[in-house]
């Protein structure tokens, strides 16, 4: 090996190590931000860390965390799913109606919610893949269509807690060792999505599609099938989120999940999933969801105006996008330098 080749290999290894450090530090940065925010809030109001307060915080984070896992899979492909709030609302209403009419068991309710969401996700995927419609436009359209379906089905009525089986409501309010069942379900899904993205070829293909769609197709990645998988998974998890929503609140009407898609996108971006695709983890998205939930709950305790609460979230999103751009530019420069050394 020549001296030039040795220097090239060393530079490449150093660049990879630096990028890996940045990505790891990002997750660590989210953890530190969480710790600082919780510490400051608890020092000013010790009740913020009481058992009930922590449980309420985890209850509040459960649905956003779950939907963020599905959104991560889609964003990795350079897509987006703005319909998750409407899918959640439709699933919550359909599941609630079925439960009030039949009193089905909780596991069956979870499966029903998954099925409703998967069908909606397949619709999104088909419009985007076969119709060649940009994801932003396609899912914005289905957001309104599905919300209209919910309003038509509900007809101004709502499902009350008294209409739902006791076991279902107990599932929504229950906990084990202080951890709510709903949050435990979300964490299990987070772990499963993380394993899927990191260990399975189909998951790695999603990164390839987001990094360079044309190169991925030339390499034999079944782009259409992977795209459909991403949107079906996002829809299914939004459907499951609808079941958790119904179990948590008991009362379900046509406005269930309204506007939650913005919180989910914010959590994913803040959590380090590149909006340009090809980079990010489910763990980061989960931490982003948890951080935004803590901000949501901590700032009122600190008596900070709601305007500043929204401004802080907006600043976090802009900072995350800027960091993604910086990392991608540095990576491109490193690849160009490597190519020039090889030549």
Domains and CATH numbers, the chain: 3-342 (1.10.3470)
Angle at 221 between CA 232 and CA 67, to 5 degrees: 25
- The answer to whether the Cα torsion of 314, 42, 27, 65 is positive or negative is negative
Q: How many CB atoms lie within 10 A of CB 222?
A: 14
Please compute the mean of the pLDDT values over residues 261-290 and round it to a whole number. Answer: 90
Tell me the CB-side half-sphere exposure of residue 150, using CA atoms within 13 A: 31
**How much is the pLDDT for 97?**
92
Residue 77 — φ and ψ, nearest 5°? Answer: -90, 10
**How much is the pLDDT for 7?**
40
Q: Is the pLDDT of residue 9 over 50?
A: no
Please compute the mean of the pLDDT values over residues 320-339 and round it to a whole number. Answer: 66
Contact in structure between 32 and 287 (CB atoms under 8 Å): no
pTM for the full model?
0.86
Tell me the CB-side half-sphere exposure of residue 203, using CA atoms within 13 A: 15
Which of the two residues, 159 and 321, has the higher pLDDT score?
159
Report pLDDT digits (tens) over 107-139.
999 999 999 999 999 999 999 999 999 999 999
Q: How many CB atoms lie within 10 A of CB 189?
A: 21
**How much is the pLDDT for 13?**
45
Report pLDDT digits (tens) over 44-81.
888 888 888 889 899 999 999 999 999 999 999 999 99
- The answer to whether the Cα torsion of 258, 262, 265, 266 is positive or negative is negative
- Rounded CA gap, 304 and 124, in Å? 39
Under the banding of pLDDT at 50, 70 and 90, the label for residue 103 is confident
Write down the mean pLDDT value for the chain.
85
Least confident of 84-88, 147-151, 339-343: 339-343
Radius of gyration of the chain (CA): 22
């Amino acid at each position: 090996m020549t001296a030039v080749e040795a220097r090239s290999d060393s530079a490449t290894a150093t660049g990879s190590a630096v990028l890996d450090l940045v990505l790891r530090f990002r997750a660590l940065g989210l953890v530190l931000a969480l710790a600082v925010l919780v510490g400051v809030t608890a020092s000013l109001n010790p009740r913020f860390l009481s058992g009930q307060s922590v449980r309420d915080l985890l209850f509040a984070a459960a649905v956003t965390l779950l939907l963020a896992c599905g959104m991560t899979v889609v964003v990795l492909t350079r897509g987006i799913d703005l319909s998750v709030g409407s899918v959640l609302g439709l699933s919550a209403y359909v599941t609630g109606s079925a439960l009030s009419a039949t009193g089905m068991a909780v596991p069956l309710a979870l499966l029903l919610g998954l099925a409703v969401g998967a069908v909606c996700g397949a619709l999104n995927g088909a419009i985007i893949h076969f119709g060649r419609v940009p994801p932003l436009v396609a899912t914005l359209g289905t957001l309104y269509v599905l919300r209209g379906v919910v309003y038509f089905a509900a007809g101004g009525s709502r499902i009350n807690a008294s209409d739902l089986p006791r076991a279902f409501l107990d599932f929504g309010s229950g906990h084990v060792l202080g951890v709510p069942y709903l949050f435990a379900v979300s964490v299990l899904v987070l772990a499963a999505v993380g394993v899927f993205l990191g260990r399975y070829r189909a998951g790695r293909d999603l990164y390839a599609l987001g990094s360079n769609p044309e190169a991925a197709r030339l390499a034999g990645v079944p782009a259409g099938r992977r795209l459909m998988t991403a949107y079906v998974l996002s829809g299914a998890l939004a459907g499951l989120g609808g079941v958790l929503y119904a179990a948590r609140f008991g009362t379900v009407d046509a406005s269930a999940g309204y506007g939650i898609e913005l919180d989910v996108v914010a959590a994913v971006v803040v959590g380090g999933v590149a909006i340009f695709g090809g980079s990010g983890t489910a763990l980061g998205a989960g931490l982003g969801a948890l951080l935004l939930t803590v901000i949501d709950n901590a700032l009122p305790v600190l008596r900070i105006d709601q305007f500043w609460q929204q401004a802080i979230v907006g600043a976090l999103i802009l900072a995350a996008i800027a960091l993604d751009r910086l990392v991608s530019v540095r990576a491109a420069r490193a690849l160009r330098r490597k190519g020039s050394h090889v030549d």
